[in-house]
Structures are given as C-alpha cells and as structure tokens.
Amino acid sequence: MQNQKIELPYFDQLFEDIRQGKTEVIKSFGHHVHWGYWQNPTTADGSIDDFANAAENLTRRVCDAGGASDGQRILDCGCGFGGTIASLSDRFTNMHLVGLNIDPRQLQRAKELVQPRNSNHIEFVEGDACQLPFADNSFDLVLAVECIFHFPSRQKFFQEAWRVLKPGGKLALCDFVPQEAFLPFMQLGSYFIKPFLSNFFGYVDSNITLTAYRSLAQTTGFTSILEEDITLNTLPTYPFLRQLQSTGENAQPDNSTVMAEWVSRLQLIRYLILSYQKHVES
C-alpha cells in the first residue's frame, strides 16, 4: 500500500543526531520516542539513564492499561523505533507483535534494533493507523503510545482499531488532553501557534477533551475501562528536554516544548492514559 508522505521534522532531527552519533540523544530518544513516567517525580535526577528508564516505564503503563499478557496478538500503531514492541517481547512470551508506522525510515531502524525474545514473533509493517492493513477481529490489543495526535482522524483510528480487534479486545493509548475550559484557548492558540508547532512536531491535533473521547469511544462501540491522569508523573521530562536541547553546537530551545511545559505544569493540558474494550457481542 502506498502511504501519504508525512512531515515529521523532529524525526528528521533525530535521524541527523543518530547519524552524527550523538550518544546522549541516542540513549534518550533512539529507542522510545516519548515522554517519561516517574512513579515518584521527586526522584528524577536529570540523568540520561534515569530518563531512559522513565520512558520504558511509560510504555509499560500503557501496555498494562491494555492488559497485555502472554500469548496475545498485539498491534502497536505509530510504533516509532519499535521500543514498545521490544518492551513487550522482553516481558511476555508467545506473542505475535506487529509494529505499524507510516514512516519507512523508522521501520528500517526498528527492524535493525528489535529482535524477538521469549518465543515471540515480531513484524514491522508500513501503513497508516487510519487505514489498517489487517483483517477484522485479528488482535487482542491495539496500542497507540504518544502518537494519536499525529493521526489524520481520531474517529477513523478508533473505527479501525475496533474493526481489527477481536470481541473483548482492548485499545490503550496515551495522549495530551486539554481541560474542557481550556479548549477554546487551545483552538484559538493552535491557529497562531500552528506554524511554530508544525516546524518541529509536524501535524498535531490536540483539540480533543476527555468528554469528546468518551463520546467517541461510545459511538465506536467501546466501553471505557481506564482514564488515568499521569500529568505530574511526566513533568520531569521537560527539564530533561531543556537540558538535552541546551547541549551541542547548534543548541536552540524549542518554543513548542516550552509552551507544552507551561500548559502541563498548569494542568491546562493533562497527560492521560486511556483504555477501552470492544463490546463482547451477545
């Protein structure tokens, strides 16, 4: 299937840093490409190892929210460099794990980095999360770790996840979700901020509230099983990013990350883990 080319400037930057062998970037974002999760945020020490550990913890929280367990067929949409697939393969056995990404460069790196363990089977497939190239009722769990805001349509993604899940199967994701009262400011702000945001992060849509998620889940045929606010647990990511961005010859603070830090500290935008179950047909 031919996918539309997607612009992700931060991945272009990541590939350039990897090519240049920047070990601090490779260790922190060369495996997982998402925020960290600290059970106790006061213990964050700003080191690269601490951040890498926190990034692994975030993946585990999302997989656990979806009830990942031995023997399942799991689809990780927007799989990045395959960090979540590797984590699942380390923790569980006899799984069929599929990582899907729209960007073939990332898939190439994932294939080089991630080897199956514990009698698991791993595949990396090029595709759009909103047009899944898989049969109906074929997965126990669909994941979207910190990527749904890039997808062309959440509605289409939920419909596709529902279609490929077996009855009783689960969808688990994490996302930046604005508070109800902040949404109008977000929408207004997005209009002005979009050019800056897209210069670094590419297409991002963070204009969905928790109420809208609930309604989307219900109309798609999902039951909500978990809504967990982990904003405070992710905050040490921001000083870590500032520190990382301040090193090197072309050090430039990225404005969109600075803005994301403030709206997160004020909890105007919350970082949520959400999970859903496809209704079992009666």
Ligand X SMILES: C[S@@+](CC[C@H](N)C(=O)[O-])C[C@H]1O[C@@H](n2cnc3c(N)ncnc32)[C@H](O)[C@@H]1O
Interface contacts to ligand X, rule CB under 6 A: 6, 8, 32-34, 77-80, 83-84, 100-103, 106, 128-130, 145-147, 150-152
β-pairing verdict for 96-101 and 121-126: parallel
Strand ranges of the sheet holding 73-77, from the earlier edge strand across to the other edge: 121-126, 96-101, 73-77, 139-145, 165-178, 269-278, 222-229
Instruction: Give the nearer residue to ligand X in terms of CB position, either 198 or 214.
Output: 198
Instruction: Give the nearer residue to ligand X in terms of CB position, either 152 or 281.
Output: 152
Task: Return d(Cα 9, Cα 16) in angstroms, integer.
Answer: 11
Q: Using alpha carbons, list the distances in angstroms from residue 42 to 137, 233, 234, 269.
A: 43, 9, 11, 21
β-pairing verdict for 222-229 and 269-278: antiparallel
Task: Residue 269: name the closest of 236, 234, 244, 224 by CA.
Answer: 234
Closest distance to ligand X from the beta carbon of 80 (Å): 3
Contact 212, 18 (CB under 8 A): no
Give strand pairing partners of 165.
Answer: 139
Instruction: Give the nearer residue to ligand X in terms of CB position, either 199 or 214.
Output: 199
> ∠15-56-126 over CA atoms, to 5°?
50
Closest distance to ligand X from the beta carbon of 249 (Å): 25
Closest distance to ligand X from the beta carbon of 153 (Å): 9
Q: Using alpha carbons, list the distances in angstroms from residue 63 to 68, 115, 174, 254, 281.
A: 6, 19, 10, 30, 24
Instruction: Give the nearer residue to ligand X in terms of CB position, either 62 or 217.
Output: 62
Closest distance to ligand X from the beta carbon of 172 (Å): 12
Closest distance to ligand X from the beta carbon of 8 (Å): 6
Task: Return d(Cα 212, Cα 199) in angstroms, integer.
Answer: 27
Closest distance to ligand X from the beta carbon of 213 (Å): 18
Task: Return d(Cα 168, Cα 78) in angstroms, integer.
Answer: 22
Closest distance to ligand X from the beta carbon of 236 (Å): 17
Instruction: Give the nearer residue to ligand X in terms of CB position, either 83 or 169.
Output: 83
Task: Return d(Cα 208, Cα 193) in angstroms, integer.
Answer: 17
Closest distance to ligand X from the beta carbon of 184 (Å): 26
Instruction: Give the nearer residue to ligand X in terms of CB position, either 258 or 280.
Output: 258
Contact 152, 128 (CB under 8 A): yes
Phi/psi at 153 (5° precision)? -155, 125
Query: Which residue lies nearest ligand X, judged by its C-beta?
Result: 80
Instruction: Give the nearer residue to ligand X in terms of CB position, either 140 or 146.
Output: 146
Instruction: Give the nearer residue to ligand X in terms of CB position, either 95 or 148.
Output: 148
